[in-house]
Structure 1
Amino acid sequence: MNFLNQPDHHNSRPERMPPSAGPVRTGQRTRGEGPCRVRRLSACLLGAVFTACAPVGPDYRRPDTVMPERWQEARPPAAARSEAVGADWWQAFGDPVLNRLIREAMLANLDLKQTYTRIRAAREQRIVAIANGLPIVSNKESVSRRLNNAGQSGAGGQPGGVGFGNNIDIFQLGFDVQWEVDLFGGIRRSIEAAEANMEAEVENSRAVLVTLLGDVARAYIEMRSDQRLLDVSQANLKLQLETARLMRIRYQAGLSDSLAAVQAEALAAQTQAQLPVYEAARKQAQHQLELLLGKPPGALRALLDPEQPVPEAPDRILLELPSELLRRRPDIRRAERQLAAATAQVGIATADLYPKFNIAAFLGFQNMKITDVTALSKSWSAAGTLTTPLFNWGKIRANIDAKKAQQEQSFLAYQSAVLGALKDVEDALVAYAQEKARRAALEQAVASNRLALKLSKERYRSGLTSFLNVLDSERAVYSAESDLVQSQASVSADLVSLYKALGGGWQAAPVEAETFAGGG
């Protein structure tokens, strides 16, 4: 796979010089001047909003990724039952118990619920980022004491103003407004990063869901396989115990030596020793299912104890093009959103190179005596500050370079996610195809070994062969039947791995979960 036309999200655009800012003039207010200044201030604020510069830093573009035209391990279509890799792929197994487990896992799995809380946290962080670009209004009450050393001249040109040379108490009550005008797009880039992070959490939730569905199906297949292996072992044990009983009778009757009876009993004991292994594996798989469904051990016993066949996989599946992985795989979608967030972080760091323009305003009342309500007078003030970084020991530049390195890391992680997804699909395809071939061979082996056992027993009764051949045939039948059960389970499990590798399942999430996750 080649990655061509890589976007220029590694490189920041050339730095732009900030627009010149006019001098901030201050002076004493004259009567009737307040309304005019308020109108001029409003006009300046609107002008700052509509003439703000485009955000600094790199503009994000999705990576142009060239995907293979076809799957290397895909087999030609065969004339057999086929199933498309749909949103609800588990329906292809036709197992109502599995369908129920999948539905309950979607609603109750604790790991999946944790991803929803992370989506909520990311959504709130997006609101914080948006709020940082809006004016902040707060209630303000202040008390201050000032030393008055200036006043109007009295008679004879001597200072005689009210309160001259005295401390003056000033009480203020009103509203305070603070606003950082986003001239160079640092706040806009932070909103972009917050939105990308929120979308990445949504995709992470979907990736967890895809993994969850695969884990539930595989644990269920494993449990049914262990149940079937128990049945096969018990059936063979019953036959072997009967053979051992007959050989013991023949020995006691003097028709056979003790070696045949001991060998028959040894084979039965070996088979019986497998029963605890399969029973333990069955219960552990059941416990795993209960964990995935957010239930305590034993909660699913009534549902899972009744024996059911191992879910059977369809003979053939309909594959989509490799390019569909970019749309279907949540981990690729998550990596792409993380790359978008990392690109926005470069713009946030770059904005620190440019001046910051803050506006502050106050509107309310003031008085020199807090107890004298009749003396309240209107009070307002407005100020603007422009701060420009001059010397910071390379801190801003180092932060920009660090964010660029993180962006490059995210780009490489995206490439790795795409390559890993292709590998997962090819591995699942080859495992599924080869296991199907192995299963076909084992089916023939079981049939042949059963026939060999029948013939060996007939020849033994006729005295044409030794009892050792009968024991070998019984051992071969048990081994082949056990291998066939495990292969049937492996075919189904490999198909589950293929569905997971293709990114199927998250599209069928319950409405409640998708609404809670903010996805769609």
Structure 2
Amino acid sequence: MASWEPDFWSSIRNRVRLQKDYAQEQAAEYASARLSLQAELASDYFTLRGLDAQADIYARSIRYYEDSLRVTRTRLQDQAASRLDVARAENQLYTTQAHLLDIQAQREVMEHAIAVLVNVAPSSFHIAADSHLNATRLAISPGLPSGLLERRPDIAMAERQMAQANRAIGIARAAFYPHVSFRMDGGFGDNGFNLANLANSMWTYGATVTLPVFEGGLRRAQLQQSWSAYRETRDHYRMTVLTAFRDVEDGLSRTQRLDSENTRLRAAVGAASQTQEITMNLYKGGLAAYLDVLIAQVSTLEARIQQVEVQTRYLQAQVGLVRACGGGWDASLLPAPNRLPSVGPLQYSGLHDARPAGDVPPPRTRGEEPEDNLTGPNLSALQAR
């Protein structure tokens, strides 16, 4: 038996194109999920480094407060200070030690979160502490807004959804026209074993044409439904584009303001540290009260912690800006419609392993560990930075 259906009204072609658009949509969704995980990993990593910097500040402050406590106790023995000064120094020291323990607990929790993102058991994962925060400024291209439509995978995904809805309209329209097909049947029949005799052969062929006459408005309703679905995807595409532009503007605003704020706080830290040293020297010489020393120490610690927190937020804002710009992704990485992986009608080999499709890598071959980690290769790059 053989049959053939001519595609007069592009119904079959639209179905094929719809599936290709769907394949491209899935590739864009894969890129969007990967970008989201990578951005989350980078943000968590900079949070971890910010906690390292805070822990270093608390550790250095604790050493300074221990020296201050020794000085105060010595002055108490010399009857040059009161017991109140010693109690204030002890309170400052013990409170700072408690803050350090809290920061260390936060760091361990964040390290566990990173371990999950890189697909590693938290108990066997560790990142060495590093108190240096490198805030490298990003270079933003002037033509970014115009090229953003090709650099965001979520925009490409929304556009492919709109393309699928457009194909569905063509399929719904084709249902109004006659359905034509050609068919040919053949075979052999005999009561004995002489089946190959040409005289025993049977052959039939013909054409069928079907046309919907009355279906109670079903075809018209399906066409209207396809148009409504198209309008929905069009509005979703527009909202995705506007959201992308907003994300970029938010990222630019955050990075610029936080960079300026970080510069001001660095100057504030320098002034507070200088005040702390001068006040401590005056106290050792008996020219200042310990309350002045305590106020200077608290101000210095708060200024340093605030500066590190702002610098961490600045790095996280840079991550958000990179994510808003697509993270280096481009629409050219989508699988081309004429290069989508396909299987031939008589193909029996190579069916177990998928072919690569655009930016989507194929899974590992049988017997190898599957590649299910989308963030692992990026951790070493972050640590190098």
Same fold (TM over 0.5): yes
- The answer to whether the Cα contact below 8 Å between 2:56 and 2:131 also exists between their aligned partners in 1 is no
1:412 aligns with 2:225: no
Larger Rg: 1
**1:66-465 alignment, distance < 5 Å:** 176-301=1-126, 304-307=127-130, 309-314=132-137, 316-367=139-190, 369=191, 373=195, 377-465=200-288
Work out whether residues 189 and 195 of structure 2, in 8 Å CA contact, stay in contact via their aligned partners in 1: no
Q: In 2, distance between residues paired with 1:437 and 1:328? A: 28
CA offset digits 1:26-81 (Å, max 9, x no partner): xxxxxxxxxxxxxxxxxxxxxxxxxxxxxxxxxxxxxxxxxxxxxxxxxxxxxxxx
Most deviating of 205-214 and 418-427: 205-214
Tell me how many residue pairs correspond in the alignment: 338
- Does the 8 Å CA contact 2:187/2:201 hold for their aligned counterparts? yes
User: What's the % identity of the aligned pairs?
Assistant: 27
Q: CA deviation at 1:375?
A: 6.5
Paired residue secondary structure (1:385): strand
Inter-CA distance 449–515: structure 2 relative to 1 (3 Å threshold): farther
Q: Which has the higher helix share?
A: 2
Separation in 1 of the partners of 2:192 and 2:243?
72
Secondary structure of 1:357 counterpart:
strand
Question: Shift of the alpha carbon at 1:257?
Answer: 1.8
For structure 2, list consecutive stretches of 5 or more residues without a partner in the other structure.
Answer: 334-353, 361-385
Deviation at 1:282, TM superposition (A): 1.7
Are the equivalent residues in 2 in contact too, given 1:213–1:505 (CA < 8 A)?
Answer: no
Deviation (angstroms), 1:317 = 3.8
Matches of 1:474 and 1:316 in 2, distance apart?
Answer: 38
Q: 1:245 to 1:266 in 2, by over 3 A?
A: same
User: Counterpart in 2 of 1:9?
Assistant: none
Counterpart CA distance in 1 for 2:176 and 2:138 is 62
Native 8 Å contact 1:425 1:501 kept in 2? yes
Cα offset for 1:455? 1.4
Contact persistence 1:210–1:505 (CA under 8 A): no
Backbone CA RMSD of aligned residues: 2.3
Does structure 1 retain, via aligned residues, the 8 Å contact 2:54–2:305? yes
Shift of 1:394: 1.6
Contact residue 25 and residue 157 of structure 2 kept, 8 A? yes
List per-residue Cα deviations over 1:141-194 (Å, max 9, x = no partner): xxxxxxxxxxxxxxxxxxxxxxxxxxxxxxxxxxx1233332211111111211
Aligned residue in 2 for 1:491? 314
CA distance in 2, matches of 1:320, 1:212: 26
Q: CA deviation at 1:456?
A: 1.0
Structure 1: give runs of 5+ residues left out of the alignment.
1-175
Partner residue of 1:516?
Answer: 356
**What do residues 11-32 of structure 1 show as CA deviations (whole Å, max 9, x unaligned)?**
xxxxxxxxxxxxxxxxxxxxxx
1:260–1:468: 8 Å Cα contact kept in structure 2? Answer: yes
What is the SS of the residue equivalent to 1:380? Answer: strand
CA contact (8 A) 1:221 1:311 kept: no
Relative CO higher for 1 or 2, CA cutoff 8 Å, sep ≥ 6? Answer: 2
What is aligned with 1:480?
A: 303
Residues 28 and 154 of structure 2 are in contact (CA less than 8 Å); yes or no, is this contact kept in structure 1? yes
TM-score (ref. length: structure 1)? 0.61
Measured against aligned partners, the alpha-carbon deviations of 1:310-334 in whole angstroms (never above 9, x if no partner) come to 2322265444331101111111111
CA shift at 1:449, angstroms? 0.4
Q: 1:476, CA displacement in angstroms? A: 0.9
TM-score (norm 2): 0.82
Residues in 2 aligned to 1:195 and 1:374: alpha-carbon distance in whole angstroms: 45
Within 1, Cα distance between the matches of 2:142 and 2:128?
35
Instruction: Please tell me whether the aligned partners of residues 428 and 494 of structure 1 are also in contact (alpha carbons under 8 angstroms).
Output: yes
Higher strand share: 1
Query: Who is 1:470 aligned against?
Result: 293
